[in-house]
Amino acid sequence: MPFIKAKDGTDIFYKDWGSGQPIVFSHGWPLTADAWDPQLKVVADNGFRAIAHDRRGGGRSGQTWDGNNLDTYADDLDALIEALDLRDVILVGHSTGGGEVARYIGRHGTERVAKAVLLSAIPPLMLKTDANPEGLPIDVFDQIRAGVETDRSQFYQDLSANFYGANRDGSTVSQGTRDEFWLWSMQVGIKGAYDCVKAFSETDLTEDLKRIDVPTLIVHGDDDQIVPIVAAGEKSSKIVKDATFKVYPGAPHGLSMVPKFAGRFNADLLEFARS
C-alpha cells in the first residue's frame, strides 16, 4: 500500500487513482479515506487524478499519541502534496476534513491550490461562545467524548442515524450504509478519535477562511444534525472572498454518501472542478 512520511515520521496512507488535474479529498471524523470512494471513482472516471489519505490516528495511517489536532492534520496534508509534487490542486474537505483544508491554506497558502470545496464543513467554529452563539454547547462534545471512551462501538452505531438522517421520517438510508459508517469508525484508534473531538469543536478557523484566495464551493445540507448550517456553511460563505454557497434542502451531514443526495453533489463537484 502507498504511504508517505509526515514531518514527524508518521506513516500516512493514501489512495491515488486516475490521472489529470489532482483532486485531493480530506475525510470527516471518525472515518477513513474509504468514505470518499464513490467520489474518487467519479472524478477519476472523468479525467481527474483522485487522491485521498487516511488521517493520522486511524485507518491505515499511523496511530500517534500526539499530534491529533488541526495544525498537524494540515501539515500532514502538506506533506502528502509535497511528496507527490502536486500542483493546481483542487482540495475537497468534508466535515473535519473541511477544517483540515482551511487550516492547510491558513498555514501553507495556495501556491499549489487551484480551488477548494468545503462540504458540511466545521469552519469557522463549532463551539458555542459569546461571539459564536449559533454554535453547539460544550456539553454536546463532552457527550461525544464520553461515547468514544465508554462504548464507542455502540456509540458509532447510534451516531450513524444522525450522520445520515436515518432518524428522519421517510428516510431511505440503508442498513448497509450505517454498517459502513460503523466499520470505518472502528478502524480509528480511540486516542485519535477522542483527541479529534477537541480539534473539530474548539478550533477557530475564521482567520484561515480569510486567507482562502481561490474559488471555493461551499455545500451544506439544511438538515445537518452534526454540523449546524447556521454556525458553519452560512458563516463560512460570508467570510471566504470568492465563495459559491449551495444549500441542499433536507440533506444530512453525510450527504455525499447518501444516494438521494450524492448524485447532485457529484455533479456539482465535477461542474466546479471543470469551471
Residue whose grid cell is 461542474? 271
CB-based burial label for 273 (10 Å; 0-12, 13-18, 19+): buried
Question: How far is residue 9's CA from residue 230's CA, in Å, rounded to a whole number?
Answer: 39
Catalytic annotation present for 253:
yes
Residue 132 makes CB contacts below 8 A (sequence gap 6+) with: 124, 125, 231
Catalytic pick among 94, 224, 236, 237: 224
Residue 186 makes CB contacts below 8 A (sequence gap 6+) with: 152, 153, 156
Catalytic pick among 26, 61, 95, 236: 95
Catalytic annotation present for 222:
no
Q: Which of 61, 59, 58, 41 is nearest to 50 (CA)?
A: 41
**Letter for the amino acid at 187?**
Q
Q: Which of 77, 141, 84 is nearest to 109 (CA)?
A: 77
Residue 21 makes CB contacts below 8 A (sequence gap 6+) with: 47, 48, 49, 88, 89, 90, 114, 273
Helix (H) or strand (E) holding 164: helix 138-164
Residue 130 makes CB contacts below 8 A (sequence gap 6+) with: none
Catalytic annotation present for 88:
no
Question: How far is residue 18's CA from residue 271's CA, in Å, rounded to a whole number?
Answer: 18
Bond preceding residue 133 cis, omega within 30 of 0: no
Q: Which residues participate in catalysis according to the annotation?
A: 95, 224, 253
